[in-house]
């Protein structure tokens, strides 16, 4: 009895364990949730936009750090012919000298249109603009703490002191104090508006901080680190959420490479149009100085563009490898149709076996014909079975039927 009870208890324990395991299996299956495609798409879009933002900042910082500290912008301006600049005035394209007179010199007692046209051809005019751009560049890079201000008195000093004798010799016009006062009135509002715009955008607050970061080497490094951090974040989420790694690499590379490739394409097309085809007319004045400006821009753009292209190529290769593995796995798992059973070969007789007798078939007609012999006069054949019988017999000796 004790053995029976022990056996029953063991069987009950086994049944309870089996029931518990059966109940535990659905719980484990419920915990393992498959990643949704909508979450992967939404997360990829957000990370793509974030990477694109930091990639653009990294590209701009790389270009500004290659142009501003080396005073490349002022070097390019010094080579340009400012007198060929065409500006729109009342819907018509006018030379810059004509626009300068119509906008600012029209109220001066002594300055003429010829004076304005000669002014824009002087190298000192280019140098004045270059000095202002250099001062602005040093402020943007952080080397100068004060934002440069462009005042009408600066223009008047240029015309009266540096170019007074040259312009008087060329145009026979003497710049007077009355002309200075007129310039202060006509140019004051526009120059003050320009200074106020710079003060609000890059002179204080977040604009100043962002400008210093974009134009400084430390800012360039920071934006580069943020761009790489986007890749690390994307990779972690792709591994954790089971996203497609190849697509992630491709999207990240495109987000970084597209802005740089666009800048390279625009630089190349602009240089080709100006140098080879002399178009558009609005950029003809920059023909001599444009290569000086675009060369460092193109070199600085190669860094983020090459970085993005590298990840794009890795992503494309990864996608191709994954597709190849899936095709191979599908080919292996596909059911193979059952091959027809091979037919059993016919048994062959041994060489020493006796030959089988040949069977010959002879067609027989409805009536039996006995072979004809030469004894037809002494015998007769039974019409029923064809047996030979004596000529005088009335019944067949073979079948016993009467012979008629």
pLDDT at 355 over 70: no
Domain of residue 205, residue span: 69-214
What is the average pLDDT across 93-107? 92
- Here the tokens at position 92 are 């018509």
- Is the entire prediction scored with pTM above 0.85? no
What is the structure's pLDDT at 61? Answer: 95
Q: Is residue 158 part of a domain?
A: yes
DSSP string, 145-175: SS-----HHHHHHIIIIISHHHHHHHH----
**pLDDT tens digits for range 282-314:** 788 888 899 999 999 999 999 999 999 999 999
Q: Is residue 261 part of a domain?
A: no
Q: Is residue 117 part of a domain?
A: yes
pLDDT at 167 over 70: yes
Q: Is residue 177 part of a domain?
A: yes
**pLDDT tens digits for range 320-339:** 888 888 888 888 876 655 55
pLDDT at 369 over 90: no
Q: What is the dihedral of CA 255, 261, 262, 268, to 10 degrees?
A: 170
Decide: helix, strand or coil at residue 396.
coil
Q: Is residue 366 part of a domain?
A: no
Residue bearing the bigger pLDDT, 139 or 339: 139
Contact 263, 297 (CB under 8 A): yes
Q: Is residue 89 part of a domain?
A: yes
The domain total for the chain is: 1
* Other beta carbons less than 10 A from residue 206's beta carbon: 7
**pLDDT tens digits for range 186-241:** 999 999 999 999 999 998 899 999 999 999 999 999 999 999 999 999 889 888 88
Q: CB-hemisphere CA count at 13 Å for 206?
A: 0
Q: Could you tell me which of 200, 226, 205 has the C-alpha nearest to residue 61?
A: 226
In whole angstroms, how large is the CA radius of gyration of the chain? 53
Contact 62, 220 (CB under 8 A): yes
Q: Is residue 146 part of a domain?
A: yes
**pLDDT tens digits for range 62-80:** 999 999 988 999 999 999 9
């Amino acid at each position: 009895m004790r053995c029976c009870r022990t056996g029953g208890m063991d069987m009950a324990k086994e049944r309870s364990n089996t029931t518990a395991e059966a109940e535990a299996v659905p719980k484990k299956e419920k915990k393992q949730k498959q990643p949704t495609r909508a979450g992967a798409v939404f997360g990829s879009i957000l990370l793509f936009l974030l990477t694109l933002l930091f990639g653009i900042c990294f590209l701009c910082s790389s270009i500004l750090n290659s142009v501003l500290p080396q005073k490349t912008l002022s070097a390019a301006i010094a080579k340009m012919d400012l007198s060929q600049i065409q500006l729109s005035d009342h819907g018509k394209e006018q030379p810059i000298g004509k626009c300068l007179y119509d906008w600012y010199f029209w109220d001066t007692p002594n300055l003429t249109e010829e004076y304005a046209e000669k002014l824009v051809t002087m190298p000192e005019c280019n140098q004045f603009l270059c000095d202002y751009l250099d001062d602005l560049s040093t402020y943007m890079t952080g080397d100068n703490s004060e934002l440069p201000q462009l005042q009408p008195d600066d223009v008047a000093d240029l015309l009266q002191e540096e170019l007074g004798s040259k312009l008087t010799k060329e145009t026979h016009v003497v710049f007077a104090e009355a002309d200075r006062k007129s310039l202060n009135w006509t140019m004051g509002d526009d120059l003050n508006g320009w200074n106020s715009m710079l003060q609000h955008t890059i002179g204080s607050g977040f604009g100043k901080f962002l400008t210093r970061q974009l134009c400084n080497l430390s800012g360039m490094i920071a934006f580069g680190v943020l761009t790489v951090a986007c890749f690390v974040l994307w990779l972690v989420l792709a591994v954790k959420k089971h996203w497609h790694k190849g697509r992630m690499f491709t999207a990240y590379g495109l987000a970084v490479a597209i802005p740089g490739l666009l800048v390279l394409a625009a630089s190349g097309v602009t240089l080709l149009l100006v140098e080879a085809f002399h178009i558009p007319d609005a950029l003809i004045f920059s023909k001599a100085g444009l290569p000086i400006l675009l060369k460092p821009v193109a070199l600085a753009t190669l860094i983020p563009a090459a970085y993005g292209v590298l990840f794009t190529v890795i992503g494309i290769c990864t996608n191709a490898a994954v597709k190849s593995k899936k095709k191979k796995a599908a080919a292996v798992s596909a059911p193979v149709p059952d091959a027809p059973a091979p037919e059993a070969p016919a048994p062959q007789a041994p060489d020493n076996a006796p030959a089988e007798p040949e069977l010959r078939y002879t067609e027989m007609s409805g009536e039996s014909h006995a072979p004809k012999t030469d004894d037809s006069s002494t015998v007769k054949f039974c019409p029923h079975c064809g047996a030979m019988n004596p000529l005088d017999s009335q019944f067949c000796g073979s079948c016993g039927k009467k012979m008629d």
